[in-house]
């Protein structure tokens, strides 16, 4: 009797002992696997953030070039971009991988889920180079462009500039718009250069686009040469997202980075936020140009008794463009700098729209200097 009890005790003890030890060992390995999985995810995110940072750096070097980045390993993840208070946040949705950027103006859809990401940069000259604007999109974000029966010059330039790397399609008629094929794309952006395809009265969404999620179908409608509105799908109709039309803040007609930015930005908020980042940088660049102008003015104002007649006449001619003529470099730069300060602190963005005139004056004065011949140009 006593033997049986002892055997039972030994057997029970061994099983419990084995279970505890086995459990501990199992937990140990499970812990390692969980930790490794977490680390792998974190590494993936960090790699992405690093790739993006290199991309921003590279964009400044190889401006005007397009980079197609294979993100096949991230195909299951959703990349997000957001811009608030002049800070762009980007990363992988539902992971800890995220980064912030306060310098580069980045224009992109809010979300990308693709195997290929496309990054393209264009210099923003206003009138001198301020920054490189970075446009980010994906192979499955389709841009459907419409300019009516007349071919818009900008549309022609857009198609040529974006080339085969971008997912674009030009509509030939309004009828084609009603029957358009969105294909197997993640999101659709309609770009209407006529201002007549989508209006507050013509707001029915084509049937083929109605199956898409509301956030994945949007439109930009140019109502004037440099005025535009954003629209977003809401059920079966377009909803206008801008109360008053926005203005493209730029000077150039060719490769107008600010106009491209409007097309690639998800919405009004992203456009304004990233443009403000460009203006914040512009303030620093303008400070340098103001100091440069002062140095050049001092140079032309130096003791004229030591100069020969030709140099004297050149100096006073050049000085005119810097300080006396209308518009002149000094006062135009001062005005631009003051307006920039106002724009950066203005939450409504209306003060930023007044920058164009001041920038135009700097451009005119600099053109005068260049045409004069022997003058030191500002830029």
Partner 1 sequence: MIASNNKKAQLHITETIAVLFIFFILVAFGLIFYARYQQTAVQEKQEQLLASRAMDTTVKALFLPELMCTKGEAEHEDNCVDLIKLTAATPNSLPPLSPATPEPTLSEPPIQPKSHFQDNSEYYFQLFSYSNITFIQVYPTPQQWQIYNKQKTKKTPDGKTIKDWTRKEPTYFTITLRDDLAGTTPQYRYGYIIVEAYS
The minimum distance between CB 129 and partner 1, in angstroms, equals 5
Record the tokens describing residue 253, joined without a space: 């007609």
Of 57 and 234, the one with the shorter C-beta distance to partner 1 is 57
Of 73 and 367, the one with the shorter C-beta distance to partner 1 is 367
Radius of gyration of the chain (CA): 29
Of 49 and 159, the one with the shorter C-beta distance to partner 1 is 49
Taking the C-alpha atoms of residue 53 and residue 118, their distance in angstroms, rounded to an integer, is: 14
The minimum distance between CB 376 and partner 1, in angstroms, equals 5
The minimum distance between CB 370 and partner 1, in angstroms, equals 5
Of 62 and 178, the one with the shorter C-beta distance to partner 1 is 62
Of 6 and 156, the one with the shorter C-beta distance to partner 1 is 6
The minimum distance between CB 267 and partner 1, in angstroms, equals 25
Question: Under the rule (CB under 8 A), what is the footprint of partner 1?
Answer: 3, 6, 10, 14, 17, 21, 25, 28, 50, 53-54, 57-58, 60-61, 101-103, 125, 128-131, 252, 280-281, 284-285, 287-289, 291-292, 294-296, 299, 366-367, 370, 374, 376-377, 379
The minimum distance between CB 20 and partner 1, in angstroms, equals 11
| C-beta atoms surrounding 34 within 10 Å | 10
Sheet holding 111-112, edge to edge: 98-101, 87-92, 79-84, 111-112
C-alpha count within 13 angstroms, C-beta hemisphere, residue 136 = 29
Beta strands in 139-226 (DSSP E): 141-146, 168-171, 187-192, 217-222
Residue 251: closest CA among 377, 132, 359: 359
Contact 376, 369 (CB under 8 A): yes
Of 92 and 293, the one with the shorter C-beta distance to partner 1 is 293
Contacts of 226 (CB under 8 A, 6+ apart): 247, 248, 250, 259
The minimum distance between CB 196 and partner 1, in angstroms, equals 33
């Amino acid at each position: 009797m006593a033997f049986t009890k002892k055997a039972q005790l030994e057997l029970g003890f061994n099983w419990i002992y084995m279970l505890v030890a086995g459990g501990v060992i199992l937990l140990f390995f499970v812990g390692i696997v969980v930790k490794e999985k977490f680390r792998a995810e974190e590494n993936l995110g960090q790699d992405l953030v690093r790739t993006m940072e290199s991309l921003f750096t590279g964009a400044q070097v190889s401006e005007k070039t397009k980079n197609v980045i294979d993100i096949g390993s991230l195909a299951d993840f959703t990349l997000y971009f957001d811009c608030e208070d002049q800070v762009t946040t980007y990363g992988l949705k539902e992971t800890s991988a995220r980064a912030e950027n306060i310098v580069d103006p980045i224009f992109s859809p809010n979300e990308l889920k693709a195997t290929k990401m496309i990054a393209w940069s264009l210099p923003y000259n206003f009138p001198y180079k301020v920054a490189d604007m970075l446009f980010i999109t994906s192979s499955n974000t389709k841009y459907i462009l419409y300019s009516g029966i007349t071919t818009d010059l900008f549309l022609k330039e857009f198609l040529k500039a974006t080339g085969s790397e971008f997912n674009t399609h030009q509509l030939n008629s309004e009828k084609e718009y009603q029957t358009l094929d969105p294909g197997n794309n993640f999101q659709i952006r309609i770009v209407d250069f006529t201002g007549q395809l989508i209006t507050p009265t013509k707001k029915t969404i084509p049937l083929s686009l109605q199956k898409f999620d509301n956030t994945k179908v949007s439109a930009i409608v140019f109502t004037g040469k440099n005025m535009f509105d954003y629209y977003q799908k809401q059920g079966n109709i377009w909803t206008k997202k801008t109360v008053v039309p926005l203005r493209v803040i730029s000077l150039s007609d060719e490769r107008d980075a600010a106009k491209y930015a409007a097309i690639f930005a998800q919405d009004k908020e992203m456009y304004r936020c990233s443009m403000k980042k460009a203006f914040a940088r512009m303030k620093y660049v303008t400070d340098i140009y103001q100091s440069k102008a002062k140095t050049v003015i001092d140079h032309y104002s130096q003791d004229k008794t030591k100069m020969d007649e030709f140099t004297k006449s050149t100096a006073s001619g050049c000085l005119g463009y810097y300080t006396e003529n209308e518009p002149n470099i000094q006062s135009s730069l001062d005005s631009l700098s003051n307006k920039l300060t106002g724009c950066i602190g203005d939450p409504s963005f209306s003060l930023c729209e007044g920058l164009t005139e001041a920038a135009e004056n700097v451009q005119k004065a600099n053109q005068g200097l260049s045409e004069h011949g022997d003058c030191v140009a500002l830029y």
